Amino acid sequence: MTVIRSWIDQAAARHGEAHYLEEAAGTGTLTYAGLQGSAQAWAERLDRAGLSPGARIAVSLADPLGYATALVGILAAGRVVVPLDPAAPAAETSRLLAVARPEAAVSGAGSGPPGLAWLGPRDEPTDAGPIPGGGIYLCTSGTTGTPKGILLREDQLGHVAAGVVAHHRLGRADRGYCCLPLFHVNAEVVGLLATLAAGACLVLDGRFSRRGFWPLIEQRQITWINAVPAIITVLAMDPPAARPAGAAGRIRFVRSASAPLPPSALRRFEEAFGIPVVETYGMTEAASMITANPLDGPRKAGSVGLPAGAEVRVVQLAAGRYVPCPGPVVGRVQIRGRGVITRYADGPPAGAFDPEGWLDTGDLGHFDEDGYLFLVGRSDDVINRGGEKIYPREIEDVLLAQPGVGSAAVVGVRDEVLGERPVAYVVPAGSWPAGPLEEAELEEALRGACEASLPRPKQPSVFCLVPELPVGPTGKVARRRLRELAMAGR
């Protein structure tokens, strides 16, 4: 029996009629008894289809409740789920299927049960081999080339989900809210599996909507919210009339993940609503959570918190090998642990893992004197201006602290003399398009703020006011696209 199936059976035996999942935009629900029946039905269906334990099954459903039910049921049946974005273009889906090579696919439309389509036997690479049980197969870094396949085994998923429950103290009485995409690891582990491990309830929303958000949270009696920085930033800009009444006292915390949360946005939200924001750090290769700020302070703005279930170190290259950095020195963030993969499904990129099992995350950061991790950016986002290393986040934090700024991102562009120079893209907080005078005033204010807070090399050479920033499904800024725009002078 799988770990996930044992969690389902235990919950069904103890409180079978309690809700496991609810629709935010409808009346659909799934009880723990219903989940148990669904898991059994999926196991029988897959057995009849000749899809043995460890077989990869792609899932692509538009309905969040149906998607979640299929994902957990197939995982509990000991198969490997390949979650896909149901709204992705056909070419993108084909590209991911070529990497994951599932044997069957679950898809459907309307109110009927999802269909199971046979895709053919998987041509398993000789270095990967089948696994005896279930898991989730995800693809990452697909925007810069061929996606890397990541197989998260069920024991890794269960370990991290249990860690989320312990760290966030989730229990039977909790009711979470999640509008994050179910084809990403955060919603799968922090949302679905942690809720299952706690025997709690999760309210699923197909998308975040600022309008009516707080009445929904109040109506559904939500106690914690799984969010990304973009959602927290937007909510912090709500007028006083839109602020919650009774909900604020019931919500224990808002969890922020998937992208850096500007300290200014965190402070504005907490001051406006009195709800603690718990900033965390995770990645697909670690089955989601790596570090997190504690619920009972100190929570440090700008920090992603303390290690939570994984080993974390910050290193620099010295004499041909990586050595830990002292104190506040910035270096490469590396991780290892029970929830962290030890290889990519089709072989690791050069330098991804060292002989001791440390995975290089590609992130740069440093620890403070209390052991809290601060991230300063990605290693490939660092701007080298005349030999001086510039981290985009330190500029972005200055911009985001200014009135009239909704969001901002800084990228480096080529410079014939200095090598690179920083360019800032800023989304005004007000209506768009703004008038020429308003734009000029905002640009002047931003330039003045940077001159007052940053040394000259770190001051952006250009401020581009735009209606929106290009982002991915989880709210991360698509910096590659911004660099392309900057090089084109747009």
Closest CA to 238 of 215, 259, 258: 215
Nearest by Cα to 19 from 9, 33, 36, 3:
33
Asked if CATH classification 3.40.50.11710 holds for the domain at 382-487, the reply, yes or no, is no
Structure tokens at 345: 């499904």
Q: What is the pLDDT, as a whole number, of residue 19? A: 98
In contact, 162 and 259? CB cutoff 8 Å: no
Query: Residue 318 has what pLDDT?
Result: 81
pLDDT at 127: 42
Q: 251: exposed, middle or buried (C-beta count within 10 Å: 0-12, 13-18, 19+)?
A: buried
pLDDT of residue 115: 78
What is the per-residue pLDDT for 128? 45
In one letter, which amino acid is 386? G
Question: Is 119:106 a contact under the CB 8 Å cutoff?
Answer: no
pLDDT of residue 242: 58
Q: Where are the domains of the chain?
A: 3-161, 208-379, 382-487
Fold (topology level) of 208-379: Rossmann fold (3.40.50)
What is the token pair recorded at 105?
A: 């696919």
Give φ, ψ of 351 to 5 degrees.
Answer: 85, 5
Pairing label, strands 419-428, 405-415: antiparallel
CATH number for the domain running over 3-161: 3.40.50.980
274-310 as b/e, with b when 16 or more CB fall inside 10 Å? ebbbbbbbbbbbbbbbbbbbeeeeebbbbbbbbbbbb
Q: What pLDDT sits at residue 313?
A: 96
Residue 229: phi and psi, rounded to 5, are -55, -35
What is the residue-level pLDDT of the chain in tens, covering all 490 positions?
A: 789 999 999 999 999 999 999 999 999 999 999 999 999 999 999 999 999 999 999 999 999 999 999 999 999 999 999 999 998 888 888 889 989 999 999 987 544 567 788 776 655 543 444 456 799 999 885 444 567 899 999 999 999 999 999 999 999 999 999 999 999 999 999 999 999 999 999 999 999 998 889 999 999 999 999 999 889 988 988 766 656 666 667 999 999 998 888 888 899 899 999 999 999 999 999 999 999 999 988 999 999 999 998 999 999 988 778 888 887 899 999 999 999 999 888 765 556 888 888 999 999 999 999 999 999 888 888 898 887 889 899 899 999 999 889 889 999 988 877 888 999 999 998 766 666 668 889 999 999 999 999 998 899 989 999 999 988 777 788 888 888 887 777 6
Q: What pLDDT does 426 receive?
A: 94
Condensed to tens digits (0 to 9), the pLDDT of residues 76-113 reads 999 999 999 998 888 888 889 989 999 999 987 544 56
Asked if 3-161 and 208-379 have one fold, the answer is: yes
As a residue count, the chain comes to 490
Q: What does residue 154 show for φ and ψ, rounded to 5 degrees?
A: -60, -35
Question: In angstroms, rounded to a whole number, what is the distance separating the alpha carbons of residues 416 and 466?
Answer: 26
Nearest-angstrom CA–CA distance, 9 and 258: 31
